[in-house]
Chains A and B, each alone.
Chain A
Amino acid sequence: MAPTKKMGIKQKYAHLTRGLDWETTYEKMDDVFPYDKFEGIKITDWSKWEDPFRLTMDSYWKFQAEKERKLYAVIDAFAQNNGQTNISDARYVNVLKLFLTGISPEEYQAHRGFAFTGRHLRGVGPRVACQQQSLDELRHFQTQCHTISHFNKFFNGLSEFRTMHDRVFYLSVPKSFFDDARTAGPFEFMIAIGFAFEYVLTNLLFVPFMSGAAYNGDMSTVTFGFSAQSDESRHMTLGIEVIKFLLEQHPDNLPIVQEWVDKWFWRGFRLLGLVSMMMDYMLPKKVMSWKEAWEIYFVEAGGSLFKDLERYGLKMPKYHEQATEACEHISHQLYGLLYQLSHVTGLHAWMPDDEHMDWLSEKYPNTFDKYYRPRFELWKQQEAEGKRFYYNGLLQLCHTCQLPMTFTEPDDPTTTCFRESEYEGQHYHFCSDGCKDIFDREPEKYISSWLPIQQIFQGNCGGPTIPDVLAYYMFGPNDGGEYVGSEDNKLWESWKNATTKEAAE
């Protein structure tokens, strides 16, 4: 038999997905796929969905196996060579604590969400892509746990990450974001996570974060980060395909999709506020400022994307100008939050040194010296008097994003932004117009939000006192508070001073 010519990828993909979307005969299609109609999205031809990567399952396994082999070789090498002693500073580890408690569990939520959409969308193209993404997200969760577990042998604040994620007040910000997406229908989930999060916003999370890890000597985290991110291009592609597909299928889909884009852009922007604080304040050696990252990844990249989607009538997400303007402020506001609440978090915070503050002045010439440096000056003075500033109480949360109500009016950084709605005779408070709109669109959904401060007052978080609540959060006694003088700090100093000590014991 003459050898046949090797198949091209288009041909191979067509063969490997052929017939996977057969019409059922024993059961009605609508019974087999009960979830993909109630949201009001109209699909006329599922076969129009194209996966431009055309990645078949066999190639998928091959590439993923290769990535895993490489990653685990690095993780082993890092552990064997005591890589933890070569990071830039132990302050850096707080970035990993925030990541492991706030982001890794969301990888798991993404895994569950894409498993659901991979089962319940009836087209074959999206089902294959969603199932691959579901497996990717599980891999991300696992590799992140494995990588960071090495740091858990030495540093505080990492061991109870799963419980913390479900209970701790600031971690309800990412948790409620994914809970919201996963309790939506499959198409909204795809727009929320596939499009708004993966395509529009995920670069802002992973690229500067992992580059930051590289710059701060954390070889193992760079490796899991970029290994995860190499899956991200597929996820971004799925995200952009889903939006184009929905908009091409039926003109009635446009207003629904626009509302979802507006909602999930704003929710994502609020969530990424935590990343802004990490980039501008928590990385000992900085890669770029949050504002610069926003310029590159939202203004420039998002601008190109939305210009492309204009042909379908889709507009830039509502309040995107407010978001861009707020990028002058949010990292400073949120680090101020961490600084004064660190004693009730699983993270350490510290006073930025003079060099760091000068860097902030340079990166934020319009705002840092005018609005934020004076705060640090007051706190520095209080530290010098032995009265390090902590916020000694519980505070008001936004009912939508669940962040403390700390953000300011779009045109006035000296006034806190308060927005309010009335629903069935009750008050609801919001940090912004974006968060208020989200609530007003679906109040029946958000009235059941599990707001951490409300739950403490209702007696559902371990007891009435702060120590009761911290025990319920499963914080160890040395997990949070001021970095200087902490166990992590002392351990780090002991490593730095150990050059004359013998290593063998």
Chain B
Amino acid sequence: MPVKAIVDNYKDFNPNRDLPEQYHGNLMVYLYWNKHMSFVAAMAAPLPPPTPFGALPEVAKSVYGTHPDFEKIDWSKVEWTLDGNPITPDFAKSIGEQGVRHKSLIRFTTPGLDGFEGKYV
């Protein structure tokens, strides 16, 4: 449903403040570690589209690296979803090539690692 506005050209007054071209060539990517609820929210990182998918563990480490589970992750066993769909990423190829776009949500599950004391913490 459109906004009811007092003017007809409402859109002229109301620019979109969250368009990909405003990010200096980066994608704003969200990265979320399933079952680790002690982290308040998914992290947000500005990444250029040529970034290899294989760089994501290092990106994740900057926030999630403080968790005792983090160093136990076997990255070859990690299960990934991109915007809700399961994917099998190629670590050597770029995120841009593999469908990551502005504000994509990448979630990863680490089998066997269910948070502090297995309590999803």
Q: Are B38 and A379 in contact, CB atoms less than 8 angstroms apart?
A: yes
**Which residues of chain A have C-beta atoms less than 8 A from B3's C-beta?**
442, 444-445
Q: Mark B1-15, 1 if CB is under 8 A from A, else 0.
A: 111111000110011
Interface members, chain A 317-369 (any B CB < 8 Å) = 333, 336-337, 340-341
Interface members, chain A 398-426 (any B CB < 8 Å) = 399, 404-406, 408, 414, 416, 418, 420, 424, 426
- How far apart sit A450 and B15, CA to CA, in the bound complex (Å)? 11
What distance in Å separates the Cβ of B110 from its nearest Cβ neighbour in chain A?
15
In this complex, what residue of A is CB-closest to B5?
A: A38
Q: Are A378 and B44 in contact, CB atoms less than 8 angstroms apart?
A: no
Q: Are B66 and A394 in contact, CB atoms less than 8 angstroms apart?
A: no
Given A38-B4, A448-B14, answer yes or no on A416-B41 (Cβ-Cβ < 8 Å): yes
Q: Are B18 and A426 in contact, CB atoms less than 8 angstroms apart?
A: yes
B1 in complex: contacting residue of A395, A442, A454, CB < 8 Å? A442
The total of Cβ contacts below 8 Å across the A-B interface reads 141
Q: Are A405 and B6 in contact, CB atoms less than 8 angstroms apart?
A: no
Which of the segments A231-239, A266-274, A301-309, A384-392 contacts the partner chain? A384-392
A375 in complex: contacting residue of B22, B38, B103, CB < 8 Å? B38
Interface members, chain B 61-114 (any A CB < 8 Å) = 62-63, 66, 68, 83-84, 101-105
Given A38-B6, A185-B6, A444-B10, answer yes or no on A429-B23 (Cβ-Cβ < 8 Å): no
Q: Are A447 and B18 in contact, CB atoms less than 8 angstroms apart?
A: yes
- How far apart sit A287 and B10, CA to CA, in the bound complex (Å)? 47
Q: Are A396 and B30 in contact, CB atoms less than 8 angstroms apart?
A: yes
Given A34-B6, A427-B103, A444-B10, answer yes or no on A457-B116 (Cβ-Cβ < 8 Å): no
A451 at the A/B interface (Cβ < 8 Å)? yes
Given A387-B66, A444-B2, answer yes or no on A404-B18 (Cβ-Cβ < 8 Å): no
A374 at the A/B interface (Cβ < 8 Å)? yes
- How far apart sit A455 and B18, CA to CA, in the bound complex (Å)? 8
Most A CB within 10 A of own CB, among B41, B43, B116 = B41
In this complex, what residue of A is CB-closest to B13?
A: A448
Given A35-B6, A426-B18, A450-B17, answer yes or no on A416-B43 (Cβ-Cβ < 8 Å): no
Interface size class of B (residues with CB under 8 A): 35 or more
What distance in Å separates the Cβ of B96 from its nearest Cβ neighbour in chain A?
15
Q: Are A340 and B44 in contact, CB atoms less than 8 angstroms apart?
A: no
B117 at the A/B interface (Cβ < 8 Å)? yes
Q: Are A426 and B14 in contact, CB atoms less than 8 angstroms apart?
A: no
In this complex, what residue of B is CB-closest to A418?
A: B105
Given A426-B18, A447-B14, A447-B17, answer yes or no on A382-B30 (Cβ-Cβ < 8 Å): no
What distance in Å separates the Cβ of B69 from its nearest Cβ neighbour in chain A?
10
Interface size class of A (residues with CB under 8 A): 35 or more
B121 in complex: contacting residue of A378, A387, A429, A442, CB < 8 Å? A378
B119 in complex: contacting residue of A40, A374, A391, A424, CB < 8 Å? A374
- How far apart sit A38 and B3, CA to CA, in the bound complex (Å)? 11
**Which residues of chain B have C-beta atoms less than 8 A from A146's C-beta?**
none
- How far apart sit A404 and B42, CA to CA, in the bound complex (Å)? 8
Given A39-B4, A378-B116, A458-B22, answer yes or no on A340-B30 (Cβ-Cβ < 8 Å): no
Q: Are B121 and A340 in contact, CB atoms less than 8 angstroms apart?
A: no
What distance in Å separates the Cβ of A410 from its nearest Cβ neighbour in chain B?
15
**Which residues of chain A have C-beta atoms less than 8 A from B41's C-beta?**
337, 395-397, 404-406, 416
A392 in complex: contacting residue of B15, B19, B62, B102, CB < 8 Å? B62
**Which residues of chain A have C-beta atoms less than 8 A from B5's C-beta?**
38
**Which residues of chain A have C-beta atoms less than 8 A from B120's C-beta?**
371, 414
Q: Are A395 and B43 in contact, CB atoms less than 8 angstroms apart?
A: yes
Q: Are A454 and B18 in contact, CB atoms less than 8 angstroms apart?
A: yes
Q: Are A429 and B30 in contact, CB atoms less than 8 angstroms apart?
A: yes
In this complex, what residue of A is CB-closest to B107?
A: A418
- How far apart sit A396 and B102, CA to CA, in the bound complex (Å)? 13
Q: Are B37 and A375 in contact, CB atoms less than 8 angstroms apart?
A: yes
Given A34-B6, A449-B17, A453-B44, answer yes or no on A426-B37 (Cβ-Cβ < 8 Å): no
Q: Are B46 and A426 in contact, CB atoms less than 8 angstroms apart?
A: no
Most A CB within 10 A of own CB, among B16, B30, B35, B46 = B16
Q: Are A393 and B63 in contact, CB atoms less than 8 angstroms apart?
A: yes
Q: Mark A61-94, 1 if CB is under 8 A from B, else 0.
A: 0000000000000000000000000000000000
B40 in complex: contacting residue of A40, A406, A441, A454, CB < 8 Å? A406
Q: Are A458 and B105 in contact, CB atoms less than 8 angstroms apart?
A: no
**Which residues of chain B have C-beta atoms less than 8 A from A404's C-beta?**
40-41
- How far apart sit A347 and B17, CA to CA, in the bound complex (Å)? 28
Q: Are A393 and B40 in contact, CB atoms less than 8 angstroms apart?
A: no
**Which residues of chain A have C-beta atoms less than 8 A from B10's C-beta?**
444
Q: Are B40 and A340 in contact, CB atoms less than 8 angstroms apart?
A: yes
In this complex, what residue of A is CB-closest to B4?
A: A39
- How far apart sit A448 and B15, CA to CA, in the bound complex (Å)? 5
- How far apart sit A453 and B44, CA to CA, in the bound complex (Å)? 8
B51 at the A/B interface (Cβ < 8 Å)? no
Q: List 17 A-B contacts (CB under 8 A).
A: A34-B6, A185-B4, A333-B40, A371-B37, A374-B116, A396-B105, A416-B37, A416-B41, A420-B83, A427-B104, A429-B103, A442-B1, A445-B3, A454-B18, A457-B23, A457-B46, A458-B22
CB-based closest 3 A-B pairs: A404-B41, A393-B63, A395-B41
Give me 11 other A-B pairs in contact (C-beta within 8 A), A371-B120, A457-B26 excluded: A337-B41, A340-B40, A375-B116, A389-B38, A406-B40, A414-B37, A416-B37, A420-B84, A448-B14, A448-B17, A455-B17
